[in-house]
A and B are shown apart, each in its own frame.
Chain A
Amino acid sequence: MSVTVYVPSDAAALALGADAVALAIAGEARRRGIAIKLVRNGSRGLFWLEPLVEVAGSRDRLAFGPVTVADVASLFDADFLNGGAHPLSLGPTAAIPYLFMQRRITTRRVGLVDPASLADYLAQGGGVGLQAARGLAAAEIVQRITDSGLRGRGGAAFPTGIKWKTVLDAVADRKYIVCNADEGDSGTFSDRMLMEGDPFQLLEGMAIAGLAVGARQGFIYVRSEYPHAVAALKAALDSAQDWLGDFRIDVRKGAGSYVCGEETAMLESLEGKRGIVRAKPPLPAISGLFGQPTVINNVITFGSVPDILGQGVDAYRDLGCGRSRGTLPFQLAGNIRFGGLVEVPFGLKLRDLLYDFGGGSRSGRPLRAVQVGGPLGAYLPESQFDTLLDYESFAAIGAGLGHGGIVAFDDTVDLAKQARYAMKFCAIESCGKCTPCRIGSTRGVEVIDRIRAGQVEQITLLRELCDTMIHGSLCAMGSMTPYPVLSALNHFPEDFA
């Protein structure tokens, strides 16, 4: 019988040379006359070990990494297919502390399953949630999601059950399910990893949402920067139509606009227009895509749904703390030694994530600041590293968890420059509909330039500008750009002097 070898095809693994390694392993096996079955899985999310090659052992999967093409011959020499010892051997994958310390729910199959195989997905416990949902009334599905305490994982943390109930109660001939896969925040990649590593789970979550609100058509809006995710989803959909029944899903590509991650701008884009933010109300749940009631959730939110239906509401709700229930797949990024995907229940200390998991900075210098929640997230100083990772604790310090992306910076960072970048990014990406965002961001860059040139009295003006943007902008793009700016100003004033 041939041994199964796993080489990830996750975009980050590819960027670190996984394709060449897969090719070398297949070639070397052929040369030696050894039969292997090569599976291109998703990534386990331990990026300092990528490309992480796994071999299916008799009981566990054994990990080797980071593997380069030059290591392949010696791996065969060491008989790695039969558990032979090699300097790159990491033992059973599941026992690697970084993975062992996590509580993977939403990403439980990412890296384990063959993302191209519906049969493998179903064999590894997928599909149970959809099956359960098919035996329930729509209102009962919505009730379970409400009871689970699930909140939107895209950043706004709105209770998912309430959103679904609004769409269920809306009377319309046609309703839509839209998945926001426009994961534009720097420092985030959990959506991408789920789409590439376990795409059927996203499809299942959307199909359950369809049953819950009475929608038969879904769209996944994926950013154009993610061609590998688009390909993985399309491949999954090709084999999933029978399984999904009469629920149809189409994949649509964005076109390089950050603000299209804002839900109403995304709807405009899906309708074939410029991605300009809509005024709310009406809420998309009442009048969304093509004017119809629409459920909009992000990838991780939909990805959490199958487990809640399949494994039970209590199992999910019992994790987490306060009003933040369940788990969040955090993403450790930037200047961090052990960057990757860390799914844990809410309530861990930020410091533990940065040091116990992340191992401190990649450069070896002290960590000076971390930005949590993407380009619209606050910069936190070391004195706030003891904040608990849950929605309320972050709100209490004037920050947000956002989509769970954490970007670490060492002590060479200049926070005045980062504040300028926040304004600059807003100026580049603003949709232009409202004045505080469109003009305010450009004025913000100019004011910060003057401050950095020595006109410190302009700090008052910058604060007033931020106040206007926070209270006068139509959406989060303009109203949250001040978060990184003000946090830099408040916690790192020495960089502005």
Chain B
Amino acid sequence: MEKLPAVEDAVESVLAANSTLPGALLPILHEVQETLGYIPPESVPRIAKALNLSRAEVHGVITYYQHFRQTPPGRHVVRVCCAEACQAVGGEALAEHARTRLEAGELSFEPVYCLGLCACGPAIQIDETSLHARVTPKSFDALIDALEAAR
């Protein structure tokens, strides 16, 4: 795994590129999380200062949105759709299976409410880059086995 840039440097370069955008806070938080994997608490005062906001306001935004993380994620983030269209084809059983399977390991489980793959559920997303449709507990295990083996 490549070494992550130091928190301070990363935050400074994100701020330099974005802080004059109108409504800059969300783009900044996205880019910090994309760079570091999460939004470190120590970055909050710096972001607040750059945008002339209070720390409470920045904290409020980070905690309001499900997408933002304040702690480093697992080696991979596995999002399992828990919404109705996937429920109609066994999504709940899959989500339960996934939660149990990933509980102890080093991959993160996150429920997600719709990936827009509703005609071919149950659907999952791994690290935003990889999508899988018509997933069964068995095919889920095969995917996770491969992720765990590849290190």
Contact = CB atoms under 8 A, between A and B. Distances in A.
Interface of A: 11-12, 14-16, 47-48, 50, 183-189, 192, 224-227, 252-258, 269-275, 290, 331-336, 339-340, 362-363, 371, 375, 405, 407-410, 413, 418, 421, 425, 428-429
A428 B132 CA distance: 25
Given A189-B118, A252-B27, A256-B68, 14 more contacts: A12-B120, A15-B120, A16-B133, A48-B120, A184-B113, A187-B118, A189-B116, A255-B65, A255-B66, A272-B26, A273-B61, A274-B61, A333-B118, A429-B113
Interface of B: 22-27, 29-30, 51, 57, 60-61, 64-68, 83-89, 112-121, 123, 125, 128-129, 131-134
Nearest to A225: B115
A410 B89 CA distance: 9
A291 to B, nearest CB: 12
B67 A224 contact: yes
Contact of B88 (A253, A257, A331, A408): A408
The 7 closest A-B pairs by CB, nearest first: A339-B119, A272-B25, A186-B83, A333-B118, A255-B65, A334-B88, A256-B67
B85 A12 contact: no
Contact of A255 (B29, B57, B84, B119): B29
B85 A257 contact: no
Contacts of B30: 224, 253, 255
8 contacts: A11-B115, A186-B83, A255-B66, A272-B61, A290-B23, A332-B119, A333-B118, A409-B88
A227 B131 CA distance: 11
Contact of B128 (A227, A418, A425): A227
A470 B22 CA distance: 35
Contacts of A48: 119-120
Contacts, number: 150
A413 B88 contact: yes
Identify whether the interface residues of B are mostly helix, strand, loop, or mixed. loop
A428 to B, nearest CB: 8
Given A186-B113, A271-B23, A375 B119 contact: no
B40 to A, nearest CB: 17
A375 B120 contact: no
Given A16-B120, A186-B83, A421-B84, A11 B131 contact: yes
Nearest to A19: B130
A272 B119 contact: no
Nearest to A338: B119
Nearest to B79: A225
B118 A290 contact: no
A101 B123 CA distance: 28
Given A15-B117, A47-B120, A274-B60, A252 B84 contact: no
A54 to B, nearest CB: 19
A333 B83 CA distance: 12
Given A255-B26, A425-B113, A12 B119 contact: yes
B104 to A, nearest CB: 25
Contact of B64 (A15, A187, A271, A275): A275
Which of B61, B87, B112, B120 has the most CB atoms of chain A within a 10 A radius of its CB?
B120
